[in-house]
Amino acid sequence: MSTRAEQVTVARPVSKEGIGLHTGEVCRARLLPAEPSAGVAFALGSGCVVPGNVDHVVSSQRATALGSGEERVGNVEHLLAALYGMQVDNVMVEVEGPEIPSCDGSALEWVELLREAGRRAQGTQREAGRLGEAVWVGGGESWAVATPGRSGLALGVVVEFPGTVVGRQTLWTRVSRSRFAREVAPARTFAFIEELEGLRARGLARGGSVENAFGIGPEGYVGALRFPDEVVRHKALDLLGDVALCGVRFTGQVVAVRPSHELNVELARELRRRLVR
């Protein structure tokens, strides 16, 4: 068994506190070491533990929420993407508050936190899930396809916002620790300024600010960008976090055109059903 194929957990507990993007409330997530093959799970209030997989998704409107009964946690996707991208398999996430902290709107602070936590190899082989044939979800302008591959995970993402400064952006990346940390993790959440009023009226984006998102207005971007194509990179981050909900490391390629959390979660559901371990 090679060291690289061993499952990994965090070497020591770490935690982060911050504002929730949608509720605006102060939230905290504490990452604790977990047993081999435990996967990622969320410990919510009153002893409720929710596995980090698609069977426990309770909402995919603008962000992905997991829950069980009365207990739920929102905005899990950036943390899940960071755990997948940084190849940390088993973690218990203790959550205080209704959401995972939004940090700076990207996964960069989670990557830094995971580096601070350190890695502990667990001596148990990492499981990979493979597909026998391609899986398609969605249709029309928004669709995704997952295809079998021999090693690792590659993501292709296309976004199109015609008539805006974003236009059409495409990204192709292989998910390795270094490429994830460099190319995908730093890309922040964005919001169309004209949509913000509507989102707030629906009780969303209450914690959104220039601290954790960048804006797209009729005149162009509001605030400085980290990448000229930060929009498509953030969509790749969301896609990875949602695909991680299939519950194992997927070996293959995913191409998503105009993805949304709803589409990503549908894909994760199909992958969970069809992946062969």
The two structure tokens encoding residue 82: 């960071």
Asked if residues 113 and 16 have their Cβ atoms less than 8 Å apart, the reply is yes
Q: Tell me the C-alpha distance between 9 and 88, whole Å.
A: 6
Q: Which residues in the 161-190 window bind Zn ion by CB under 5 A?
A: 189
* Catalytic annotation, pick one of 22, 56, 234, 261: 261
Token reading at 14: 């770490």
Distance of closest approach, residue 163 Cβ to Zn ion, in angstroms: 23
CA separation for the pair 146, 126 (Å, rounded): 21
Closer residue to Zn ion (CB): 208 or 247 = 208
**Tokens encoding 261:** 């959390």
Closest separation between CB of residue 241 and Zn ion, Å? 7
Given the complex with Zn ion, which of 56 and 188 has the nearer CB atom?
Answer: 188
Q: How far is the CB of 28 from Zn ion (least distance, A)?
A: 19
> CA nearest 87: which of 130, 52, 127, 54?
127
Total residues at interface with Zn ion (CB under 5 A)? 2
Instruction: Look up 261 and say whether it is catalytic.
Output: yes
Residues 210-249, mask of contacts with Zn ion (x by CB under 5 A): ----------------------------x-----------
Closer by beta carbon to Zn ion, 126 or else 233: 233
- Local structure of residue 184 (DSSP, 8 states): I
- Rank residues 238 and 266 by Cβ distance to Zn ion and give the closer one: 238
Residue 81: both structure tokens together: 């993407």
Which residues are marked as active site?
261
